[in-house]
Amino acid sequence: MKALVYLGPGKRALAERPKPAVELPTDAVVRINKTTICGTDLHILKGDVPTVATGRILGHEGVGTVEEVGSAVSHFKPGDAVLVSCITSCGKCENCRRGLNSHCIQGGWILGNTIDGTQAEFVRIPWADTSLYRLPQAADHEPFVMLSDIFPTGYECGVLNGRISPGASVAIVGAGPIGLATLLTAQFYAPAEIIVVDVDDHRLGIAKRLGATQTVNSRDGRAAERILDLSGGRGVDAAIEAVGVPETFDLCQSIVAPAGVIANIGVHGKSVELHLERLWSQNVTLTTRLVDTVSTPLLLKTVLSGRLQPLALVTHHFTLTDIARAYDTFAHAAESRALKVVISSSHG
């Protein structure tokens, strides 16, 4: 089969690889119909993720059709339409039993990381019963590709951890796909104010269209000042970090109101300075989270009921044969204006 393979820092190729097979009774093999590329895949390609070995098939997002199941798989059978979760969960360990699937003792984020991933014609999914989600056979499956990772991530790490509630004021720092997924799911809770911050006016325009009540371009370094103005000097109830660099984290510290939350979503490569000399008495909460995908069933319902429209984030389409161009488009988002790119199998 065809698969996108990591060949060491800066190198990748669409290569021919053997089709995976069921190895353990709890495995399934899924024929991928659509997949996408995540910011993390770009990090891997830069060589920033040491757990990814040369030769690994990348990708942790996708929808497809069950091809084969192991003897202990009871919830799925060949032919079922499924969503692949970016988090593989055994459903049995201490962590999975408390909803901390991201820290599943043997699973977690392993697809396209420590085992082969979804940017391929087929993928093997361990603990299929608790790592796949059934899709309605008839529906258009493209929106669901967005539910493998970015929507649960924005919703769990940003919206739930940010304790967004009716009437609240929220700032989302970063209007990339994750920030926008946060923006869309934040609206599940009717906040009074959602301020979106970015340096790219095009993305801020999209944010405005997708429900931001205010947008702030932070290029001039005066974002904190303007957000405090917008909130009458008080700051926001929830400051959501969706970038992953010290500057944006710092902005969050400057704008969070007393008793507010800083919900970190960004993947950080270095430490940050935390202003405890001021924050110790501000009754704030700071949260971090690798997505657990415990909200996937709920998000499926909101898509099926029409409440959530994930396609709003899809800007480009490619076929698997053309995945090199998909990577280029996604990697140069400022020019291409890409948010999420969808890659369809040839057999799709």
Query: What is the nearest approach in angstroms of a second copy to the Cβ of residue 315?
Result: 25
Q: Considering only residues 26-65, where is the footprint of a second copy by CB under 8 A?
A: 26
Q: Quick one: 32 or 132, whose CB is closer to a second copy?
A: 132
Helix (H, G, I), strand (E, B) or coil at 151: helix
Q: Which stretch binds a second copy (CB under 8 A): 49-57, 164-172, 309-317, 329-337?
A: 164-172
Backbone φ, ψ for residue 248 (5° rounding) = -75, -35
Hunting for tokens 């720092």 — which residue is that? 173
Q: Considering only residues 287-346, where is the footprint of a second copy by CB under 8 A?
A: 287-290, 292, 294, 297-302, 304-305, 307-308
- Regarding beta strands 62-69 and 81-84, do their DSSP bridges make them parallel or antiparallel, or are they unpaired? antiparallel
Q: Quick one: 102 or 118, whose CB is closer to a second copy?
A: 102
> Residue 171 and residue 250: Cα distance in Å, rounded?
13
Query: What is the nearest approach in angstroms of a second copy to the Cβ of residue 88?
Result: 14
If one asks whether residue 85 binds a second copy (CB under 8 A), the answer comes out as no
If one asks whether residue 72 binds a second copy (CB under 8 A), the answer comes out as yes
Helix (H, G, I), strand (E, B) or coil at 341: strand
Query: What is the nearest approach in angstroms of a second copy to the Cβ of residue 27?
Result: 11
Q: Which stretch binds a second copy (CB under 8 A): 59-67, 142-150, 219-227, 280-288?
A: 280-288
Q: Considering only residues 165-224, where is the footprint of a second copy by CB under 8 A?
A: 165-167, 185, 187-190, 192-193, 213
> Residue 123 and residue 320: Cα distance in Å, rounded?
14
If one asks whether residue 10 binds a second copy (CB under 8 A), the answer comes out as no
Of these, 7, 54, 55, 74, which contacts a second copy (CB under 8 A)? Answer: 74
Of these, 15, 115, 279, 331, which contacts a second copy (CB under 8 A)? Answer: 279
Query: What is the nearest approach in angstroms of a second copy to the Cβ of residue 262?
Result: 9
Of these, 97, 202, 317, 332, which contacts a second copy (CB under 8 A)? Answer: 97
Of these, 10, 79, 140, 273, which contacts a second copy (CB under 8 A)? Answer: 273
> Residue 171 and residue 216: Cα distance in Å, rounded?
10
Q: Which stretch binds a second copy (CB under 8 A): 91-99, 137-145, 195-203, 221-229?
A: 91-99
10 Å Cβ neighbour count for 271?
8
> Residue 248 and residue 242: Cα distance in Å, rounded?
8
Exposed, middle or buried: residue 323 (CB in 10 Å: 0-12, 13-18, 19+)? buried
Q: Considering only residues 230-259, where is the footprint of a second copy by CB under 8 A?
A: 244, 249, 258-259
CA end-to-end span of the chain, whole Å?
A: 14
Query: What is the nearest approach in angstroms of a second copy to the Cβ of residue 91?
Result: 5
Tell me how far CA of residue 226 lies from CA of 57, 231, 236, in angstroms: 44, 9, 12
Hunting for tokens 């800066």 — which residue is that? 10
The Cβ-side half-sphere exposure at 124, using a 13 Å CA radius, reads 17
Of these, 266, 313, 329, 340, which contacts a second copy (CB under 8 A)? Answer: 266
Tell me how far CA of residue 237 lies from CA of 95, 164, 231, 277, 283, in angstroms: 30, 8, 10, 20, 11
Backbone φ, ψ for residue 166 (5° rounding) = -55, 135
If one asks whether residue 271 binds a second copy (CB under 8 A), the answer comes out as yes
Helix (H, G, I), strand (E, B) or coil at 39: helix
Query: What is the nearest approach in angstroms of a second copy to the Cβ of residue 103?
Result: 5
Q: Considering only residues 116-145, where is the footprint of a second copy by CB under 8 A?
A: 129-130
Instruction: Give me the amino acid identity at 209.
Output: R
